[in-house]
């Protein structure tokens, strides 16, 4: 039985770089998995303060203990970028995860059918419950990844940020991202 991935949408594709000189060499062209992620690529590619960036660079391998598998796994954050603040001579390095806020919040448990409900109601409930269980595990895994990334960044002198729809606005103005990144180094739980 095929499972539905509730995180994906129909906006996927290869992003064509406008400024390939800013993109990390030896990486394939970035592939966005949502319209929102594509907007983030546009910001990285076109903002003059962002001097260098990469999508899922494999050079940043962050080990974390996977709660799902009970073993050490490797996490690759979505974006690496270097920002040159106005008037500065040294760039700020960032690892950024682009995620909806819902990826960090436990979902609401579905209500079981009332006593005497027919078998179709129980079948629908079982599907909702399986979906709920998957979402809970996804959130737990994400939190483990992000905690490991936060610690890794502290050790390596890189800033860590989780870009959500609540803390980056509409992503059309990179100054929004830059100002938010300067205000927050770690994700909020």
Beta bridge partners of 95: 80, 160
What would the pLDDT profile of 115-134 be if each residue is shown by its tens digit? 888 999 999 999 999 999 99
Kindly state the DSSP code that residue 82 receives in the 8-state scheme.
E
Kindly state the DSSP code that residue 155 receives in the 8-state scheme.
H
Give, in degrees to the nearest 5, the angle at Cα 38 between 46 and 26: 70
Average predicted confidence (pLDDT) for the chain: 83
pLDDT-derived band of residue 171, with 50, 70 and 90 as boundaries?
Answer: very low
What would the pLDDT profile of 30-69 be if each residue is shown by its tens digit? 998 887 788 889 889 988 889 999 999 988 999 999 999 9
- pLDDT (0 to 100) of residue 179: 52
DSSP strand E in the chain: where? 13-14, 31-32, 50-55, 62-66, 71-75, 79-83, 92-98, 159-163
pTM over 0.95: no
């Amino acid at each position: 039985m095929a499972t539905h991935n509730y995180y994906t949408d129909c906006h996927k594709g290869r992003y064509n770089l406008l400024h390939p000189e800013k993109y990390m060499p030896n990486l394939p062209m970035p592939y966005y998995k949502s319209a929102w992620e594509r907007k983030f690529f546009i910001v990285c590619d076109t903002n003059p303060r962002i001097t260098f960036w990469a999508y899922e660079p494999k050079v940043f391998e962050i080990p974390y203990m996977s709660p799902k598998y009970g073993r050490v796994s490797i996490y690759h954050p979505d974006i690496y970028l270097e920002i040159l603040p106005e008037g500065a001579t040294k760039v700020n390095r960032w690892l950024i995860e682009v995620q909806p806020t819902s990826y960090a919040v436990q979902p609401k448990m579905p209500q079981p059918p009332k006593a005497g409900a027919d078998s179709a109601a129980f079948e629908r409930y079982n599907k909702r419950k399986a979906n709920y269980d998957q979402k809970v595990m996804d959130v737990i895994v994400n939190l483990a990844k992000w905690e490991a990334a936060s610690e890794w960044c502290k050790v390596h002198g890189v800033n860590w940020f989780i870009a959500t729809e609540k803390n980056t606005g509409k992503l059309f103005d990179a100054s929004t991202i830059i100002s938010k990144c300067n205000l927050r180094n770690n994700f909020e739980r």
